Amino acid sequence: MWNHPRLAVFAITTAIGLALGAAHAKPRVPTIEQLAAYPGMSGFTISPDGKHLAALEGRGEDRVILVWKTDDLGKLPTAIGSTQMKITSVQFIKNDLLAVTMFQRHDTRIDKLTKQFISKLFITDLAGKDWKEPMPKERAMSRAAEKLQALSNPGVIDTLPADPDHVLVISDERGTSGDVFKVNVRTFRAERIQRSDDKVAGYITDLDGNLRARTRADVDGTGAFIAAEILEPGTGKWAEHFRSYVKARDVVQIVGFAKDPNTAFLLTNVGEDKAVLYEYDVVTRTRKEILFKHRFFDAARVLMNRHRNAGDIPFGEVHGIGYDGPRGAGADVQWTSPQARALEKAVRETAGIRSQRMRVVDPATGEGADIDYDVDATFNLSAATPDLSTAVVTVSGPSRPPEYYLLRNGKLMLLAKAYPDIDPASLGTTRLVYYKARDGLDVPAFVTTPDKELCGPGPWPAVVHPHGGPWSRDTMTFDGSMWVPLMASRCFAVLRPQFRGSQGWGRRLWMAGDAEWGQKMQDDKDDGAKWMIEQGIAQKGRIAMFGFSYGGYSAFAAAIRPNGLYKCAIAGAGVSDIKEIWSQFYTNPFFRERQAPTVQGLNPVDRAGGIGIPIMVYHGDRDQVSPLEQSDWFVAKAKGSGQPVVYHELADYAHGPAWTRKIMGDQLRIIEDYLVRDCGGKGL
């Protein structure tokens, strides 16, 4: 629940007192209900003028939007709810308007019944009385057109901070791209300002809100490519400036523009293992100086002031550079402007954030270094006024559920904790480590070890927990899926290997997974299990593998491969037939060339009848990413193996999202039950 300002200092002081008084108490193990619940409070956002604050409050099976006046936070907020759809996010797009994302179940039948979830964006006032979709709908002239409208979800690509009445919206009737419209958020009249085709992937605006860059996916005589195009101010025509071929895994992308609209920010890894940020002169088509380059991690984004009236902060000032460090997704930031550095200093001092020495290694070269890094927790600037005088700050870490603070005039005040009933001490400790694969490759990994007061000293039973994708990665952040908190609080060590094929650790590691499904990619996971045993973290003979999506594929593979290290496996929404999954989803030339050739190796369904360990499989009936049949096929064959096979089909569960908190809890409960009490016997 919301902490009123007059209670904030009391709450902090009381928490410190309780912590000191209970220094030797055993951590409280969170219940399934606590782990499955919506955050008590989350998603704080502040209006550009700083006069209003909004957030999401979890109320059992629902979430509501709460809106406060920042100069009267002690007053009860306005509550905005929904009866048919479930609210997932809220954000100010104007001083008096909110953008709200919601989702709902949606069933369609053409040749067969398709069960899924659809997401919708709405714009509403601060009282929640008037709701509009960001794009006015034309009258549907057929049943097919009605279905297309139901599935469409236009998105806001620029809130146009200098314009109080308009935003830029991109339609999505074509599936992957759409036309761009300037929408009046008072009258909801839309003016098309850019027509697109099905090859355009997205648009970038300059600081004045003008469309300036976009990407185009196409194929030429050399192969599939991505072109970076820039709108030439003189001609008003789109001109290609860069072309990168997907086979080479090159990235060339315009990510923004400087105050000078003819200076773009160029993100590229051409000739590099890690992506670098350059300044780029649009007129002369020349790269200027390097804006940011990190020895170990990809550059990612530029954080800038887009407001002309921002107090002492110049228009176009670069506040910082985001890069894909251990926290991923550009979440690690090197702050550069004086105002941003002052904000960082105030937050770190008040929230008690301390950096530690941490070893990092470059998988491309094997070279390493010790760096200062916020290992246990750090902060994220969630929302702020243009002059940074008022901001919402989120403090969190792998074992520290998000906490939300209001920073005003240099003072930090606790607003709320996302999960106040979860004891952070029960979630163990997470560290970034590196271990050697059998061929010498340095594999990054996140290892979470249980709390010794709760679970005793190691080694512990352990779980190798590979991520999905596989062109994805894990991050050193709080795991909102609750899989890692669940396992760590139940006294399992957890290893999340960043096996070859993972993105975000450089080109060499990424490409090393090509055509190695179930082979070298799987070796990396097994080598991680061996490393845990050697380090005294895992008990030999008491290791399981649990993964979801591609991680589910990995669990299928672990059950099949001979001489395995695992007592049992859990496969969530796993891919069992790699031939079928790619023939179904990667039918156009671009995707066939980009990723399909990399998906080769072990095909689990072909050998499911010979699994060598017990396995539990679960899958949601609304999964449209990895269809339910993928698990059905594997389980049908695996039941003839003689090994115990447990199968759960979860109703109203998709490729992650659960329709209700009960369904979320059911998913966590079957994982807990299998690891603690089953796993082919008396539990792991």
Helices (H) and strands (E) in the chain, counts: 13, 37
What pLDDT, on a 0 to 100 scale, did the predictor assign at position 562? 84
Buried b (16+ CB within 10 A) or exposed e, 568-603: bbbbbbbbbbbebbbeeebeeebeebbbbebbbbbb
Our CA angle for 514, 518, 520, nearest 5°, is 60
The helix/strand/coil state of 590 is helix
Per the CB < 8 A criterion, the answer to whether 612 and 643 are in contact is yes
CA–CA distance, 75 with 677 (Å, rounded to integer): 49
CA–CA distance, 458 with 539 (Å, rounded to integer): 8
Per the listing, tokens 């002309």 go with 308
600 pLDDT band, cuts 50/70/90, is: confident
Q: Collect all residues with Cβ–Cβ distance below 8 Å to 569 and sequence separation of at least 6.
A: 544, 545, 546, 555, 556, 558, 559, 613, 614, 615, 616
pLDDT tens by residue, 64-91: 999 999 999 999 999 999 988 999 999 9
Residue 16 CB: number of other CB atoms within 10 A? 10
What pLDDT, on a 0 to 100 scale, did the predictor assign at position 169? 94
Q: Per-residue pLDDT for 13 more than 60?
A: no
Q: Per-residue pLDDT for 234 more than 60?
A: yes
Mean pLDDT of 216-233: 90
The pTM score is: 0.93
Q: Per-residue pLDDT for 96 more than 80?
A: yes
Q: Per-residue pLDDT for 20 more than 80?
A: no
Per the CB < 8 A criterion, the answer to whether 458 and 449 are in contact is yes
User: What is the helix (H) or strand (E) element at residue 277, kind and residue range?
Assistant: strand 276-281
pLDDT, the chain, mean: 91
Lowest mean pLDDT among 21-35, 115-129, 134-148, 308-322: 134-148
Q: Collect all residues with Cβ–Cβ distance below 8 Å to 447 and sequence separation of at least 6.
A: 430, 431, 433, 493, 494, 495, 496, 532, 537
What pLDDT, on a 0 to 100 scale, did the predictor assign at position 640? 96
Mean pLDDT of 125-148: 77
User: What is the helix (H) or strand (E) element at residue 60, kind and residue range?
Assistant: none
Residue 544's beta-bridge partner residues? 463, 568
* Helix residue ranges per DSSP H, 406-519: 452-455, 483-489, 507-511
Q: Collect all residues with Cβ–Cβ distance below 8 Å to 234 and sequence separation of at least 6.
A: none
**DSSP annotation string for 152-200:** ---EEEE--TT-SSEEEEE--TTSS---EEEEETTT--EEEEE---TTE
What pLDDT, on a 0 to 100 scale, did the predictor assign at position 173? 60
User: What is the helix (H) or strand (E) element at residue 227, kind and residue range?
Assistant: strand 224-231
User: What is the helix (H) or strand (E) element at residue 11, kind and residue range?
Assistant: helix 5-21
pLDDT higher for 171 or 324?
A: 324
What pLDDT, on a 0 to 100 scale, did the predictor assign at position 4? 38
75 burial class (0-12, 13-18, 19+ CB within 10 angstroms)?
exposed
657 pLDDT band, cuts 50/70/90, is: confident
Mean pLDDT of 59-63: 95
CA–CA distance, 644 with 197 (Å, rounded to integer): 51
CA–CA distance, 93 with 679 (Å, rounded to integer): 49
Q: Per-residue pLDDT for 18 more than 70?
A: no
CA–CA distance, 473 with 450 (Å, rounded to integer): 22
CATH class of 424-677: alpha beta
Mean pLDDT of 366-372: 97
Per the listing, tokens 């005294």 go with 536
Q: Per-residue pLDDT for 409 more than 90?
A: no
Mean pLDDT of 559-582: 91
Q: Collect all residues with Cβ–Cβ distance below 8 Å to 576 and sequence separation of at least 6.
A: 553, 556, 603, 604, 605, 608, 630, 631, 633, 634
Mean pLDDT of 317-328: 97
172 pLDDT band, cuts 50/70/90, is: confident
Lowest mean pLDDT among 14-18, 299-303, 475-479, 577-581: 14-18
177 pLDDT band, cuts 50/70/90, is: low
Give percent of the chain with pLDDT exceeding 90: 79
